[in-house]
Amino acid sequence: MQKLSLQISDSPASHKIGQQYLSRYRSTTVEEADVIIAIGGDGFLLHTLHKYHKTNKPVYGINCGSIGFLMNSPAPETLFERLESATLTVLHPLIMECITETGEKLSDFALNEVSLIRQSSQAAKIQIEIDGVVRLDSLVCDGILIATPAGSTAYNLSAHGPILPIGTNLLALTPISPFRPRRWRGALLPDTTQVKFKILEAEKRPVNVAADDSLISNVIEVSVHQDKSHGYKLLFDPDHNLEERLLKEQFLP
């Protein structure tokens, strides 16, 4: 019998469903568990993966949120059966390294996307460098993001970026409300690409960078690449795995 660590979001809906699981199953520490059960929404699942990524434990998400793209449907009475038949998806993180206006060097990782967003009323002005070559001298925009396949249906899709099926070995580079060049709609990049963003006129046009839900203000340079040496394990019910969800998303009206 697998040992479980039940992690429950603070929301009322998560608490209610979480109590149903706690009444049926014993919860142990993350260190002792075989599987981490994350009860909440997509944001809580990403938070759980960030918090416990060093344990290398698989995470099975149970949806109590509005979308639940990375989650499974609640079914307290059949949890062990679902875990037994679950399919494993390994997500490789984006590594974000940045320099702030004070010269501080910071880093973080993201499983969905790294996004740069203007932090004032002034549009951002960003130079884009791909594998050491400047490909766009100046993008005037609200921001820009780079997304993994798993994250391509989140902020990336809302910004009119493409959906990337799992296993395509691609990353989506998507502008957010671009003003100049007006017709540039982004690019598909090999997942081996090294991307560097330089913030132009940073004092007049300050920019934040977010790696999933972490935020750093007043950056002047951001580098992003995917780390294939590390993988984060997600478990999905076999009739609703991540590959199938990404395919279905492309045919929604």
Catalytic residues: 42
Separation CA 209–CA 245 (nearest Å): 28
Question: For residues 13-33, b (16+ Cβ closer than 10 Å) or e, as one string?
Answer: bbeebbeebeeebebeeeeeb
DSSP 40-66: E-HHHHHHHHHHTGGGT--EEEEE-SS
Length of the chain measured in residues: 253
DSSP one-letter code for 142:
S
Tokens representing 7?
């992690």
